Structure 1
């Protein structure tokens, strides 16, 4: 008899709670009235996505894309207020009558549209860690309760409070996502790896368009992060999205008043970080902004260091009332020592082990000298032109060009049995099989380059047709990838896994340079990824208000993928060109039993990928069929108590067909495309402001992922890239209310991950990384002109591991002290 799934009972209980809430909410609403109105600029422009609220309360809303707002509040007399950087606040007296609608005359604000990106609500912006509207998640400006897809948002306010300096660490605040690998800095694929809904994903999206960074991504220019969940190929294609979802970073934009903030941070492990955020107007319709950061950090291990520099300039130009331009660039450069990665040379079954406690890894040993470094650089350039045909119809043209470069070694280590150690080095004694040695290697890149170009055109409209509101996007997308990634590897013999008398620092730059010089690059000892691809796509999506409470959405993408062939180092063609065409539909439905407070949602989402060429069982080259992923999801989204409680509860099921798997027992590497996989689970997220001084972010995720077709040795097993089945995150912040110490606050939180099976099959055995709970805390004093912060990460000094078929030790306790000053 099949065991009941725990997430199903949680799901049923959650729905019961929501239904129980509906009646009390309606009862409480009887003592309230509604405030409606519209906001425009002094030039008559529609002021969309502007926050507005009642002074001294948490009641408020955000204008939609027609500049209109509507929210409920208790009966009484108030002051309606909007305040933004460098401009005098607008205050409007308003009286709310129970059971009636108060229409506020059109509010005119003395600012341009570009300034509104810096809106700072004085009217007690209570729930600081949430955003109501996303422009990129659906390529249509939609409130969360209008979007039939799940997504999580991590705001810049949360990152500043926690003193989080990179995107990889920032994502600990999003539900259902887990870091597997730190960035390796390799051109093309070096960014950090995560697992989401049982599938691997990376940070490949920036402001809704491709923006690949192959090093760790500095958070200095991040306004918010959006984790868009589930297959999303209809709007984003197959290049930047995985079947589990995608990560979109939304950047800071220029505004039309002067601003300058300088910060410096120090911490143990020799952390030293300097940041600058400069904004200045360059005339009445032009503004420039520069965010930049320099970061140096050592390691908790005996060797290791990293230096990185990030610069992100942006320029906004308003040509006239209809036409505007935004030019942006990102430059990342760094030289880093490799962080130790332990792979399996022998299987866990052969080694007789099932978890890390059975290995004798020295947690604080890097196993190579910190002068073994690689250099990486990413430079991205963006240009956007927006043209407003009318208040109902706009055009967005976007150009993106991404370059990445890497050169140098990246050491890694194989876990081996003693018998294998003797075979690799007969001078070693034949010990009884206690896994005493590691096999040292590196995977270097030789002047590797990767370039991607994307051109995208979106037409957005908002019209009433046949008595129903249609918000739609129609888009064309062209993406080109040009890769010249050159990988090569060398071996450096075996070493004891834990011997205090062994000189691990002798694995150094001199040894690596000499070994590389003795082995010139040829076709035989390199692994080139030299290819060029073009992808041509067209897509459309429409969000339809069937009634004021029932919203449907439908979308379709047509995608033509053209692979121009693959080549060896000497230019010889190693794989022939081929084309594939894919169709990707999506559907969504929302019903609001309590308007603008409770949304019941369901969706069908599709994803696909082009695996390319593979070697079949007959040792022949074959073109892989398209892989497809289909998701069915249902859940509830909440925005209760005037925005003080924002929550999403969802259940999903993703099925994948045509996966490739290796064929064992052949003299050559071969694959067969007969695999199927099912990934299903439950996610819950809460962002709350229960009392004025407290803000909470919490999440829980359960994922049940397994192979359902393919080789008998894996059917029924969890994929070794799916991560931990159970994940949880929590953070609570308290700020002292109005007093002599106003601005003083503290925060506490942490993350939990259950066991992670990084090797898992009948043939290889099962090896698990242990469950872990990591706690973090911070203290801050935040004033208008300056800010001081103290953070302690990994408060309990916990030894823990992440992994992507590997064992990767993570950073121990770190104390961070920062100071910022605003001019």
Structure 2
């Protein structure tokens, strides 16, 4: 409680501002008008879930279980009232609103097959890659222009056009996001790592709650990928997010119509894949009624050899199964139960570390290293088995037309067992005068990590007087239970140059097992457990139809149960507050939005204590990251151009930094080599541009640019003033341009071309050692012929056969040119 009080006293301005924003919504204005009415289906039944809006205002409502709606807080005047529901003709009519009076406007929906046809045709003509709203980014339904936070969305339409099969490949369409480390499949920490705004993050959220996958994540069940930028702990907590943001996978849901798609694909490096997406419904349900019970299954099997050594030593095969069941026992209650099961078996991709300082290697760039880009440097049998099993439940209940309750239950389990080969570049051997490569293993043995999350949301959309409030109140419990067993060590060291015909296959599964049988390897355990209890509230308040403010606050109590993380960890608990504020002004309503935000995130230390320069054990404080950001969002040219331009500044404080005390220091008593001080700081600032456009019918453009400047401001002496070696490339760009013939005999025929650029990336960056992964431009292309009953597609990734590396303090060669074709049947 003392920590909470202290935090409030430290932030009197933010606490006062939050309270003022809440109080500002309290005045009531009686002299307003009301529009209400009753909406029925063509057969006279109440129409549920129909959107009713007052054009030119932020006022709107959705019909309740009885087909009724009510819109209050309207200034006197004449308005246009619109009624819309997919599958029915849109209706609009003028309505006169008088002060203190209620106007009744009833509607009967008219079924329209023409409208459904128009949707299909329009999809080829409009900005089909733009996703202009999200229910997850703000934990409430918000249009992009209404949200002061920056996020990027990659939808399934773009993934289909690019013939993308994994989340890894989907991320190449996100401005300012760079892959740093391929997925290893290891239980607990095996997922791919990315960099955003100078910080490391991974994909640990699914539909807004925990859903970690430690292997390559198949995109067969992906409706869209949301990448939310900047510190986001206020709504999402700190355990599954990063100071740079988070990745949220939004999955496909059961629909009200029967249908599906089956696809087969094959290509380079032995690639072959089969996938299916099937939606089942009750055929006896009337067409104008929602399905009470629907089931959807997405599944895929993929096999691919490693591009190195012609696939002789490396392969990966993955199975993804994602069933989903939706039950709607009433118009108010919806229950979703779904799962993700990923099983993988294969050999890890090449991961190379460096001798420190790397200046002793005789080269300081990956393209100068003597390694053979196509050589895997290991033999067969170094196989790992991995599994990720995620179970989800969601219960949504409409309490009233203005309030909804949503309960999430999620259970996330990862498992791995088997070899984890890696490599280490060493300086020139004095005897052979050649650079050597150490070969080593870090296996996992029955390693597990389990996450449980229970989240309760109460959403409201209501007026207090003339002020519209969209509110979410959340309660959250998160438990993380690690039971990871690492084992292994060095195997041998081999030359990498000037040795024709050298047998690199001696490092294999049989030899490694024999080594461990004669010399049991050391084990390194991670058995930590923690509980996090949280409560948060967020309110978007419309002061006018053009001006809105957002205020949010999270109370987070972290309870570390202790355990082992390579060494014993003590139990401890900490409480923190995380505020968030935002402002949106739309000088041109629904077209241009000026926004600004303050966002916060924090991190609880891995261990609760550290040793200071006086050899005293100190309790670690909570790290803090604070972001200020501003920019502009556009939805111009009748929706054909969507863009976001922003500038951000992130300051991190209370970092632990190494401050060793040498033996020669007075009273040092043989020195304190592990001494630390918790006053480190880091700065990260930059600009980002995200553009999605449809300049002419059939032509679509997706593009992005990001520049990030990161710097240690108060760190160890060898790092001060330098860019962190985990911050990735400072300049990143992405682009994709495609054209699809919208009409005529060639309707559905199209092609796309684009790629990614990354500047030099210093993966070691100190006064003692600098090692650089060189800049790269990777180009991709696709062609497709999409028809109502089938789709033919082909793609070329890495069109120019570019040799390039990614890394997270390491270097990993990436796949060379590959060609894949696919055939899909739709039903």
* Alignment partners' CA distance in 1, 2:182 and 2:770: 23
Match of 2:174 in 1: 174
What SS is found at the alignment partner of 1:367? coil
What SS is found at the alignment partner of 1:219? coil
Deviations 1:482-541, CA, capped at 9 Å, x for gaps: 1101112221110112333211112111011112223446xxx22211011000000000
What SS is found at the alignment partner of 1:716? coil
* Alignment partners' CA distance in 2, 1:288 and 1:62: 35
Cα offset for 1:81? 12
- TM-score normalised over the length of structure 1: 0.85
1:599 aligns with 2:596: no
1:631 aligns with 2:634: no
* Alignment partners' CA distance in 2, 1:317 and 1:350: 64
Is contact 1:82–1:122 with CA below 8 Å preserved after alignment? no
1:106-255 maps to which residues of 2 (within 5 A)? 106=107, 108=109, 121-124=120-123, 126-255=126-255
* Alignment partners' CA distance in 1, 2:52 and 2:261: 25
Deviations 1:147-203, CA, capped at 9 Å, x for gaps: 000000000000000000000110100111000011010111111100000000000
* Alignment partners' CA distance in 2, 1:544 and 1:81: 24
Q: Describe the shift of the 1:513–1:467 C-alpha distance in structure 2 as closer, same or farther (beyond 3 A).
A: same
Match of 1:786 in 2: 790
Q: Describe the shift of the 1:365–1:622 C-alpha distance in structure 2 as closer, same or farther (beyond 3 A).
A: farther
1:396-795 maps to which residues of 2 (within 5 A)? 396-419=406-429, 429-431=431-433, 436-498=435-497, 499-520=499-520, 525-567=522-564, 574-613=568-607, 615-616=610-611, 622-662=618-658, 671-763=676-768, 765-795=769-799
Deviations 1:637-663, CA, capped at 9 Å, x for gaps: 000011100000000000001223345
Match of 1:264 in 2: 264
1:314 aligns with 2:314: no
Is contact 2:39–2:106 with CA below 8 Å preserved after alignment? no
* Alignment partners' CA distance in 2, 1:219 and 1:286: 25
Is contact 1:94–1:104 with CA below 8 Å preserved after alignment? no
Is contact 1:39–1:109 with CA below 8 Å preserved after alignment? no
* Alignment partners' CA distance in 1, 2:685 and 2:211: 29
* Alignment partners' CA distance in 1, 2:713 and 2:307: 41
Is contact 2:366–2:772 with CA below 8 Å preserved after alignment? yes
1:290 aligns with 2:297: yes
What SS is found at the alignment partner of 1:90? coil
Q: Describe the shift of the 1:105–1:161 C-alpha distance in structure 2 as closer, same or farther (beyond 3 A).
A: farther
Q: Describe the shift of the 1:455–1:81 C-alpha distance in structure 2 as closer, same or farther (beyond 3 A).
A: closer
Equivalent residue for 2:308, pick from 301, 307, 311:
301
- TM-score normalised over the length of structure 2: 0.85
Cα offset for 1:320? 0.8
Q: Describe the shift of the 1:61–1:365 C-alpha distance in structure 2 as closer, same or farther (beyond 3 A).
A: farther
* Alignment partners' CA distance in 2, 1:120 and 1:377: 40
Q: Describe the shift of the 1:304–1:802 C-alpha distance in structure 2 as closer, same or farther (beyond 3 A).
A: same
Unaligned runs of 5+ in 2: 1-36, 64-68, 72-81, 95-103, 286-290, 663-670
Cα offset for 1:410? 1.0
Q: Describe the shift of the 1:799–1:698 C-alpha distance in structure 2 as closer, same or farther (beyond 3 A).
A: same
Moved more, 192-201 or 463-472: 463-472
Cα offset for 1:132? 1.4
Q: Describe the shift of the 1:62–1:151 C-alpha distance in structure 2 as closer, same or farther (beyond 3 A).
A: farther
Match of 2:79 in 1: none
Cα offset for 1:575? 2.2
* Alignment partners' CA distance in 1, 2:813 and 2:108: 56
Cα offset for 1:119? 12
What SS is found at the alignment partner of 1:516? helix
Match of 1:327 in 2: 337
Is contact 1:679–1:704 with CA below 8 Å preserved after alignment? yes
Q: Describe the shift of the 1:384–1:701 C-alpha distance in structure 2 as closer, same or farther (beyond 3 A).
A: same
Q: Describe the shift of the 1:136–1:168 C-alpha distance in structure 2 as closer, same or farther (beyond 3 A).
A: same
Match of 1:31 in 2: none
* Alignment partners' CA distance in 2, 1:681 and 1:38: 51
Moved more, 504-513 or 636-645: 504-513
1:808 aligns with 2:817: no
* Alignment partners' CA distance in 1, 2:710 and 2:810: 19
Q: Describe the shift of the 1:225–1:117 C-alpha distance in structure 2 as closer, same or farther (beyond 3 A).
A: farther
Q: Describe the shift of the 1:502–1:667 C-alpha distance in structure 2 as closer, same or farther (beyond 3 A).
A: farther
Is contact 1:65–1:141 with CA below 8 Å preserved after alignment? no
1:368 aligns with 2:378: yes
Cα offset for 1:357? 2.9
Q: Describe the shift of the 1:40–1:723 C-alpha distance in structure 2 as closer, same or farther (beyond 3 A).
A: farther
Cα offset for 1:370? 3.8
* Alignment partners' CA distance in 2, 1:209 and 1:503: 48
Is contact 1:662–1:672 with CA below 8 Å preserved after alignment? yes
Cα offset for 1:65? 6.5
* Alignment partners' CA distance in 2, 1:105 and 1:707: 63
**How many matched pairs?**
741
Deviations 1:693-720, CA, capped at 9 Å, x for gaps: 1000000000000000022211110000
| Aligned-residue CA RMSD (Å) | 3.1
Q: Describe the shift of the 1:118–1:345 C-alpha distance in structure 2 as closer, same or farther (beyond 3 A).
A: farther
* Alignment partners' CA distance in 1, 2:415 and 2:118: 37
Q: Describe the shift of the 1:643–1:730 C-alpha distance in structure 2 as closer, same or farther (beyond 3 A).
A: same
What SS is found at the alignment partner of 1:417? strand
* Alignment partners' CA distance in 1, 2:331 and 2:821: 45
Is contact 1:83–1:121 with CA below 8 Å preserved after alignment? no
Match of 1:73 in 2: none
1:45 aligns with 2:48: yes
Deviations 1:50-98, CA, capped at 9 Å, x for gaps: 9xx9xxxxxx999976379x9xxxxxxxxx99896xxxx43458899xx
Deviations 1:453-476, CA, capped at 9 Å, x for gaps: 000000000111131100010000
* Alignment partners' CA distance in 2, 1:118 and 1:513: 62
* Alignment partners' CA distance in 1, 2:213 and 2:643: 31
Is contact 1:605–1:631 with CA below 8 Å preserved after alignment? yes
* Alignment partners' CA distance in 1, 2:565 and 2:89: 67
Q: Describe the shift of the 1:619–1:252 C-alpha distance in structure 2 as closer, same or farther (beyond 3 A).
A: farther
Q: Describe the shift of the 1:646–1:64 C-alpha distance in structure 2 as closer, same or farther (beyond 3 A).
A: farther
Q: Describe the shift of the 1:346–1:376 C-alpha distance in structure 2 as closer, same or farther (beyond 3 A).
A: same
Is contact 1:661–1:674 with CA below 8 Å preserved after alignment? yes
Is contact 1:62–1:132 with CA below 8 Å preserved after alignment? no
* Alignment partners' CA distance in 2, 1:628 and 1:756: 26
Match of 1:796 in 2: 800
What SS is found at the alignment partner of 2:528? strand
* Alignment partners' CA distance in 1, 2:383 and 2:146: 48
Moved more, 451-460 or 559-568: 559-568
Cα offset for 1:670? 5.5
